[in-house]
Amino acid sequence: MADNVHELRPKGGDTEKITINLGYVDLGNVDLLVHEGFYSNRTDFIRTAIRNQLERHAEVVKQSVARKTLELGLRHYSREDLEAVRVAGQRLRIHVLGLASIADDVSPELADATIASIEVLGALHASPAVKAALADRIR
């Protein structure tokens, strides 16, 4: 029976937590829809609303991604990646829509020497030391 079980939602590590403020009337309307069984909880309602808006504006997003030359999705930079960039005498201009991550074994010095700029629309995962070394280049 276990081989017919499928994951319907991403695991906790595949999401980023956000906080929003809603007026009491809006929140009451959300709670009413949850109570009436349209949504399983507030998070389900909010996630559905966000996905609907993203779908509604998908063409604009697609055009903007192309115009800004953003990498779409998940982009991970390992210590080996950055060492190769340093050996080549280059510096990266990182532009990501989604999640950009820099490996935990990347030193602040290596990041400083190899990353010219970072623009992330979404989330940047890096050690606090690496983020501090790149603070003036993160947009």
Q: Which residue has the tokens 């779409």?
A: 72
- State the alpha helices, DSSP H only, in 57-127: 58-68, 79-87, 108-114
Q: Tell me the per-residue pLDDT of 20-70, one tens digit each, with 9 for 90 and over.
A: 999 999 999 999 999 999 999 999 999 999 999 999 999 998 888 777 778
pLDDT of 106: 98
Burial 79-101 (b: 16+ CB within 10 A, else e): eeebeebeeeeeeeebbbbebbb
Reported as type and span, the H/E element at residue 93 is strand 92-102
Confidence of residue 130 (pLDDT cuts 50, 70, 90): very high
Q: Tell me the per-residue pLDDT of 69-95, one tens digit each, with 9 for 90 and over.
A: 788 889 999 999 999 999 999 999 999
Q: How far apart are CA 94 and CA 113, in angstroms?
A: 14
